[in-house]
Amino acid sequence: MISLNAIFKHNVPQLFTPKWLKRLTYFTPTETLKWLAEQRLNALFKAQIQAGELDFLRHQSVCIEVSNLPLFLFVSLDGTTLQVIVVKSPFVATNMMRCDGKLSGDSDSFLELIAGHCDPDTLFFRRKLSIAGDTELCLTFKNWLDTQDPAGLIPANVYQSIQHYVAQHA
């Protein structure tokens, strides 16, 4: 547990991005990452898409920037399918891609969220997550993500590995 004194002194322990995540990001071709992300997200959130929970993404795009990796995911809803564009170049992501809102954080912050170790609001207050652009869209997206149960969506072995990684490095 992190003490209040450590938080005030900004003496919060840093996590370290797992090597497998770095390798996946750096060495996997962009089109393969795009295909994997689209397939997995559409499979994971099929019921939510059909229920209309993601209609706020229709005709809008949210960028998820993983700040310590060359990884930008642009997510939007086209009909009944999530569309994902993966960009590995900060120059291209910043200057050539359109997004209505951006949610930024390092990979460790996103892993903490997935593992249930921290909630998004805590990470925002610690300045580990930030939003830019359409604040309402980003907050709606963040709040929607916060209502999802990663343990029920992610394969058990992957979820347990993420929890174990975060617990070891927290």
Read off the pLDDT of residues 43-92 as tens digits, 9 standing for 90 and up: 888 989 999 999 999 999 999 999 888 889 999 999 888 888 888 887 78
Cα 31 to Cα 15: distance, rounded to the nearest angstrom? 29
Q: Is residue 2 part of a domain?
A: no
What letter does residue 58 receive in the DSSP assignment?
B
Q: What pTM did the predictor assign? A: 0.80
Cα 123 to Cα 142: distance, rounded to the nearest angstrom? 11
Q: Is residue 149 part of a domain?
A: yes
Q: Is residue 29 part of a domain?
A: yes
Q: Is residue 122 part of a domain?
A: yes
Q: Are 60 and 76 in contact (CB under 8 A)?
A: yes
Q: Is residue 45 part of a domain?
A: yes
| Closest C-alpha to 24, from 66, 61, 75 | 66
pLDDT at residue 159 in the model: 84
Cα 79 to Cα 76: distance, rounded to the nearest angstrom? 10
Question: Which residues of the chain are under the pLDDT cut of 70?
Answer: 1-16, 170
Count of domains in the chain? 1
Q: 10 in the Ramachandran plot: left (φ > 0), alpha (ψ -120 to 50) or beta?
A: left
